[in-house]
Amino acid sequence: MEISGECPNRHPPVSGGSHPQDRGCRFLHFSLLLLLALMGGIHPAKAEAGEIEIVPFHTRDQGPFSQVIGLPPAEGGLLVPPGRLECRLVYDVSNSDSENRNPREVIHLDMETHRPSLALRYGLAQRMEVGLDIPYVSHSKGKLDGFVDRFHQITGLGPRKTTKYRMDVFYVRDGVSKINLRESTSGIGDVLLSYGYQLYRSEKPAPRGVAIRAGLKLPTGDAGSLTGSGGTDVSLGIAATDAVTLSAWNLTFYGMAGAISMHNGKVLEGQHRRMAWFGSAGIGWSSLSWMAVKVQLDTHSPLYRNTVIQVLDSQVGQLVGGFTFALPRGIVLDVGLSENVFKETSPDETFHFAFRKRY
């Protein structure tokens, strides 16, 4: 299908029924009430300071053209012990707002992406871990647009470009429409298989470890609805965790760096880069046994080529901040907020929730 390089008409205003801003506020209020209810079950007086385990936020770039690529989530240098199974239920909600044009290209992103996923890690042997990530991807209108706009006003991040509570996702190159989504889409995303090998591990006086981590992303999603890329990606990296160096201050450092090879992608076909690098680094402070504070930076190099659109051909940096809470029955909850460091290269905000438990 061919269309002109001008932006298509916007959707008409919503009429009738409840206003989308009210639904967005109710969604946010429900999430906060659920979090408060969960935190009400925490018993901080039952344990001593410094015992909570610091692991990275299980995050990655949630941009619509990035989340289809097999970028691995941030992980640390300590693998799951042999014979143990670690389960994560992860829920990420990202709000995207971007509009760029040049003589050859036009891109417009006004959308919200919900990505619940199940992440499993199993200690296969003394130095080996295998994993499986199964995501469900949903792209829709921005229910949280009003909240994000107010957040930008309060924090001085500046006004956003797009119309509230709409879904407009299109990319036009040389008059040809490459992507054009106006209705909500959803479905199983691309499944990620992972493997870890422990190079070094020490538990005394505090945990410290280095591991090789590899990933294989399978084309189980649908490229036409941006739930998958339609291609197979392979990643390889090294990860480290250090709770020893600054253990006197209950600080833990962690980081990960590697490269990804992308093959036969159908999203923006012909514009994929064959290789890209990725990395993450963070620090956690656990002065209490029931809570930790974490700050993390996730980054990766451009994933697409033959374009000068910033959201496609720029390095991405996302700063994630939040908390880890120890809940009853050995359940751990991560709550984080991600903000793009470089404007319009990734979603404006991503809200991150993850429940984690070992069996």
- Angstrom distance (rounded) from CA 140 to CA 117: 17
Q: Are 262 and 70 in contact (CB under 8 A)?
A: yes
pLDDT of residue 18: 42
Phi-psi region of 187 (alpha: psi -120 to 50; beta: other; left: phi over 0): left
pLDDT of residue 41: 43
- Region 44-48: what's the mean pLDDT? 38
For residue 304, being part of any structural domain is answered with yes
pLDDT of residue 219: 96
Nearest CA-CA partner of 235 in 273, 272, 193: 193
| pLDDT for 22 beyond 90 | no
Q: Are 188 and 221 in contact (CB under 8 A)?
A: yes
Which residue do the tokens 């963070």 mark? 282
pLDDT of residue 81: 95
| pLDDT for 39 beyond 80 | no
pLDDT of residue 304: 94
pLDDT of residue 158: 54
Residues of the domain holding 281 = 20-358
- Angstrom distance (rounded) from CA 64 to CA 109: 9
pLDDT > 90: what percent of the chain? 62
Q: Note the residue count of the chain.
A: 359
For residue 11, being part of any structural domain is answered with no
| pLDDT for 165 beyond 70 | no
- ∠ CA 90-95-96 to the nearest 5 degrees? 125
- Region 82-89: what's the mean pLDDT? 97
For residue 287, being part of any structural domain is answered with yes
* pLDDT class of 138 with cuts at 50, 70, 90: very high
Which residue do the tokens 């070992």 mark? 358
For residue 9, being part of any structural domain is answered with no
Q: Are 349 and 327 in contact (CB under 8 A)?
A: no
Nearest CA-CA partner of 94 in 357, 349, 358, 315: 349
- Angstrom distance (rounded) from CA 36 to CA 87: 22
pLDDT of residue 331: 95
| pLDDT for 157 beyond 70 | no
pLDDT of residue 71: 96
| pLDDT for 43 beyond 90 | no
- Region 167-179: what's the mean pLDDT? 89
- Domain with residue 112: its CATH number is 2.40.160.40
| pLDDT for 343 beyond 80 | no
* pLDDT class of 146 with cuts at 50, 70, 90: low
* Count of the separate structural domains present in the chain: 1
pLDDT in tens, 50-80: 468 899 999 999 999 999 999 999 999 999 9
pLDDT in tens, 311-320: 898 899 999 9
| pLDDT for 11 beyond 90 | no
* pLDDT class of 20 with cuts at 50, 70, 90: very low
* pLDDT class of 154 with cuts at 50, 70, 90: low
- Region 344-354: what's the mean pLDDT? 86
pLDDT of residue 26: 45
Q: Are 169 and 117 in contact (CB under 8 A)?
A: no
For residue 14, being part of any structural domain is answered with no
Mean pLDDT of the chain: 84
For residue 5, being part of any structural domain is answered with no
pLDDT in tens, 275-291: 999 999 999 999 888 99
pLDDT of residue 31: 46
Pairwise pLDDT comparison (29 vs 197), residue with the higher score: 197
| pLDDT for 152 beyond 60 | no
- Region 234-262: what's the mean pLDDT? 96
For residue 312, being part of any structural domain is answered with yes
| pLDDT for 17 beyond 50 | no
